[in-house]
Amino acid sequence: MGFISDALNRIQPSATIAISNKALAMQAEGQNVIGLAAGEPDFETPRNIKDAAIKAINDGKTRYTAVDGIPQLKQAVVDKFKRENGLTYKTSQVSVGTGGKQVLFNALLATVNPGDEVIVPAPYWVSYPDIVMLAGGTPVIVQCPAAKGFKLQAADLEKAITPKTKWLILNSPSNPTGAAYSHADMKAITDVLVKHPHVYLLTDDMYEHLVYDDFKFVTPAQVEPKLYDRTLTMNGVSKAYCMTGWRIGYAAGPEALIKAMGKLQSQSTSNPSSIAQWAAVEALNGPQDFIPAHNKIFKERRDLVVSMLNQAKGLKCATPEGAFYVYPSCEGTLGKTAPSGKVIKTDEDFVSELLAAEGVAAVHGAAFGTSPFFRISYATATTTLEDACQRIQRFCASLK
C-alpha cells in the first residue's frame, strides 16, 4: 500500500509474537493448545520487586523522569556491571529504555546509515535483521552450524567483515538456541574484532543469568578490554527477574553513543515508566537468591525436554548451555506426510502441522534464519512440558 513508508515495508511483524497470538486465540476458542512459542518465564515477579513498585506509586514517583533513566537506576546498573562483570562505567555511559528491545532499537537507529552492514550470526533473535533494515542498513547473516554448537566461528566472522561493517551483534546465551560462549569461544571472536577497529560490537546479554551446569557467563568487553571503547553492553531485567511486562532494559557503552540514543528516545517514548524503573532498582540492588532457585527448575526442564525430543522420531536436539530455549532439528521429518495429508517440506510446515494435529505451538527455524529447525521455549510448567513433548512424540510417530 502506497501510504505505508518504504522503511516499514522493508520489515516483517515479529514471527514469535504472531505465533504466540495464534496459540492464545486458539485457546480462547476453547481448543486444547499448549503454547511453547513465547519467550518469557512462567514465574511471578519476586515480591520485593512488586513492593518497590507499589511504594513508588504511594510515594508519588509518578511523573516524567530523565529521558534515559533515573540516576538511582543508572547507579544500580553501574554497580551491577562492576559487581557481576568487572566492567567500570560512569552513569553518563548508561542508557535505560522501555525493554531491551528499545535499547537495541535506539542503538541501531542512532548509528546505521543506508549501506552500512551489520553482521548478524544465525540463528538470530527475530528482531535484529528487521531493526537493521528499518534503519536502512544491510544485515549480513552469518550461519553458525549446529555442529559448532550454533556459535559464530572466528574464520566466518573474518570473512564477513568488509569496510562497510558497522556492527557485529552477539547474543549469548542465545535466543533461539540457548547456546552460550565460553571464555575461549568469546576470545576467538574478540581477537578478530581487535584487528578491525572500525567494527563496533553490540552484545545482547539478556540471558546472562540463565546458565546451567556451572557454565560461566562472559561478556566481550570483560574478555577483551581493548574493545571497551567500541562495545555496547546491553542487558535488562525482563528474563532473569521475571519482569517481561514491566519493560525495562539498559545498556552501557561509549558516552557519545549513549547520548545519541537518549536523543532518539527524547523524540519517541521519553522515559520508561517511572514505576517500573523503581522496581528495576530493587531488582538489581535487592536479593538475588531466587535466580539460582529458578535456574534449578529451568535446568530440570531443559534436561526433560532434550531427552523427550531426542526420543521423537526424526528429531535431534542438542543440550544448550543457557536461556530457556531448545532448537531441535526436524530434518528427519521432511518429505513425510502429516495426518492432514500434507507433505512436510519445511520447518514451517512441521510447526503448522504439529499445531493442527496436536495443539502444540512452536516457532519454525526459518523465522530465526536457520532451517530445518524449530524453537521450543521451556519456560512453562514441567507437567505441561511433559504433555507437550508426548504430543510431539505422537505427532512424529504419526508421520508416514
Ligand X SMILES: Cc1ncc(COP(=O)(O)O)c(C=O)c1O
Task: Pick from 244, 319, 382, 384 the residue near ligand X by CB under 6 A.
Answer: 244
Task: Check if the beta carbon of residue 189 is closer than 8 Å to that of residue 231.
Answer: no
Sorted by sequence, the CB contacts under 8 Å of residue 379 that are 6+ apart come out as 38, 39, 40, 41, 42, 298, 301, 324
In terms of Cβ atoms closer than 10 Å to its own Cβ (0-12, 13-18, 19+), residue 191 is middle
Does position 269 interact with ligand X (CB under 6 A)? The reply is: no
Does position 129 interact with ligand X (CB under 6 A)? The reply is: no
Question: Which window, 55-63, 99-107, 161-169, 369-377, contacts ligand X (CB under 6 A)?
Answer: 99-107
Three cell numbers, residue 354: 504439529
Cα dihedral sign, 245-288-181-165: positive
Does position 80 interact with ligand X (CB under 6 A)? The reply is: no
Question: Which window, 22-30, 236-244, 289-297, 380-388, contacts ligand X (CB under 6 A)?
Answer: 236-244
Question: Which window, 95-103, 144-152, 225-233, 303-311, contacts ligand X (CB under 6 A)?
Answer: 95-103
Task: Report the residue number, 338 or 361, with the smaller CB distance to ligand X.
Answer: 361
Gyration radius from the chain CA atoms: 21
Task: Pick from 165, 171, 219, 273 the residue near ligand X by CB under 6 A.
Answer: 171
Q: x/- binding map, residues 35-54, to ligand X, per CB under 6 A?
A: ----x---------------
**Residue 400 beta carbon to ligand X: minimum distance, rounded to whole angstroms:** 36
Q: Which amino acid is at 303?
A: D
Give me the residue whose beta carbon is nearest to ligand X.
99
Does position 249 interact with ligand X (CB under 6 A)? The reply is: yes
The bridge status of strand 231-236 relative to strand 249-252 is antiparallel
Is the preceding peptide bond at 163 cis, omega within 30 degrees of 0?
Answer: no
Tell me the number of residues near ligand X by CB under 6 A.
13
Q: Look up cell 573474518; give the residue.
A: 158
Binding-site ranges for ligand X (CB under 6 A):
39, 99-101, 125, 171, 175, 204, 206, 236, 238, 244, 249
